[in-house]
Amino acid sequence: MSNGTFEPRLVGFLCNWCSYTGADLAGTARMVYAPNIRIIRVMCSGRVDPQFVLKAFREGADGVLISGCHPGDCHYQEGNYKALRRHRLLSKMLEQFGIEKERFRLEWVSASEGTKFQLVCNEFTEQIRKLGPLNLHQNGGRHEQGQA
Amino acid sequence: MSKAKPKVAFYWCSSCGGCEESIVDLAEDILKVVAAVDIVFWPVALDFKKKDVEAMPDKSIAVSFINGGIRMSEQEEMAHLLRRKSQLVVAHGACAHLGGIPGLANFWNKDTIFRKVYQTTVSTDNPGKIVPQEKSVVDGYELTLPRFWDTVHPLNDVIDVDYFLPGCAPHRDLIINAVTAILEGKLPPKGSVLAPNKSCCEDCDRNDTKPEKLTIKEIKRPHEVLLDPEKCFLAQGVICMGPATRSGCGERCIEGNMPCRGCMGPTDQVYDQGAKFLSAFASILDTNDEKEIERIVSTIVDPAGTFYRFSLPSSILKRKRMEAVK
Ligand code: SF4
Ligand code: SF4
Ligand code: SF4
Ligand code: FES
């Protein structure tokens, strides 16, 4: 697929208390943003198990976003710090798998930051458009061998 | 003549031979096994050929123990053949169960492995840059070799597996329990891993020394510190896969004062052992400061190889992205 026709597929895990509400605000305020992101609501960014992120990439996501409350504002106190630590370690590990850092993003978006959510989605979409498709679903399949 | 004994086969695929050794190491107990069964195929020890297996009626082997991952076409072929001839197939050891150590080759592919092995290692002398070919003609005869794949697979990627005997290599008690259960027909549900479904930590003598709120500021590798022989490794800042690893191995590494590397694979509740460990491990890093987090993370050498040491081919990602292998 040439990058000209490539539409990035993005998955976003948004915490219920801040980022999801922020995204909702972007929606109700009719802000226009790139339609590439599929949003999954989680209670807290700290609930995002790294297995979810890997699964999203494996199932065809070209980029994954985790978005939570700003530091200090997490509804569960520390969940977003946990997300931050996991994000940094997982990013490092993903690079060893050939998945660029830029494909895995962590953002803080508050309930009132509809505009920030809009900006993040647009920016992320453009960034992934430049990187191109991940094509992970073709990797490690049973009969990838057949091409050898 | 007495009642026919159940027929048993052993086979190896992409393995180190250690799992074969684990059978021999049953010592006197192997004699009991040998007395109770008829070994009909065991290339390491007995001179049977593939054609002997082909000649057996389907399902005539009671159980085949297959160790090693699947890395070449010949291994898949043998796995299919044994599957057809056997009532039960047991994936024997970490390599068959999860891909194992040889599965770390999934950070490369066929071309890069061949280049390294047949051309660029210091001890290689191969001016003609000859690499194995699937077909070559010598004196008018066509010779063939199995196809070497880009990716190592756990056994259940290529055939239906009834039971998994975990460990690198499996602990003798697990093997004996498995064989006994098979002979007595007292088997757990199909697909079970034949070991306790609890974490290594739960059976570890050092668990009591693990603080209620475990935190880590500095990560050390085993060779960089004098390891305390009694204290939980994580509490010493040393990566121990115990929390994300299944028990049943006898905690033998820990007894040897080495942290658990994870060979038993995950418990039933966990799909991806490496990601689960990463999650737990990141949680205990003792800082909320972005820069400090990044500093600590930068000191973790090879997280992928450490967290997936035995389970890369059975992980969610399975391998390094093909386009990125250079
Ligand atoms: S599981 Fe361990 S002992 Fe068994 S074949 Fe694999 S590397 Fe060798
Ligand atoms: S982390 Fe390792 S040393 Fe600590 S209790 Fe668990 S298995 Fe034992
Ligand atoms: S302690 Fe860990 S690495 Fe060692 S044998 Fe047990 S499960 Fe395997
Ligand atoms: S609730 Fe928003 S990050 Fe925890």
Number of domains present in the structure of chain B: 3
Residues B133-165 pLDDT 10s: 999 999 999 999 999 999 999 999 999 999 999
Contact B107 A71 (CB under 8 A): no
Spans of all domains in chain A? 7-134
Residues B123 and B270 placed together within one structural domain of the fold: no
Q: What is the distance between the alpha carbons of residues B38 and B61, in angstroms, rounded to a whole number? A: 9
- Domain CATH code at residue B25: 3.40.50.700
Q: Which of B251, B309, B311 to mutate to test the pocket of ligand 3 (most atoms within 8 A of CB)?
A: B251
> Could you tell me if B259 and B173 lie in one domain?
no
Decide if B248 is inside a domain. yes
Whole-number average pLDDT of chain A: 92
pLDDT averages per 10-residue partition of chain B, 326 residues: 82 97 85 85 93 98 97 97 98 98 97 95 93 93 95 97 98 93 92 97 95 93 95 97 97 96 97 97 96 97 98 97 92
CB contact under 8 A, B304 and A88: no
Residues in contact with A82: Cβ distance below 8 Å, sequence separation at least 6, in sequence order: A45, A46, B282, B283
Task: Mutation target for B interface from A52, A64, A97: give the one with most B CBs within 10 A.
Answer: A97
Establish if B176 belongs to a structural domain: yes
Task: Categorize the per-residue pLDDT at A19 as very low, low, confident or very high, splitting at 50, 70 and 90.
Answer: very high
Q: Which domain holds residue B240?
A: 200-300
- Domain-embedded: residue B231: yes
**Topology adopted by domain A7-134:** Rossmann fold (3.40.50)
Q: B267 and B248 share a domain?
A: yes
B174 and B274, same domain (yes or no)? no
Query: Does the beta-carbon distance from B321 to A97 stay under 8 Å?
Result: yes
Dist. CA B136 → ligand 3 center (Å):
43
- B 66-85 residues with CB below 8 A of A? 73
Question: Does any domain span residue B319?
Answer: no
What is the pLDDT at residue A146? Answer: 43
Task: Give the rounded distance of the alpha carbon of B290 from its chain centre.
Answer: 36
Rounded-to-integer distance, Cα B267 and Cα B96, Å: 16
Instruction: Check if A101 contacts B (Cβ < 8 Å).
Output: no
What separation in Å is there between the alpha carbon of B276 and the centre of ligand 2? 15
CA distance A133 to B310: 29
Give yes or no: residues B279 and B171 share one domain: no
| Structural domain includes residue B214 | yes
If you ran DSSP here, which 8-state letter would residue B105 be given? G
Pairing of strands B163-165, A63-68: unpaired
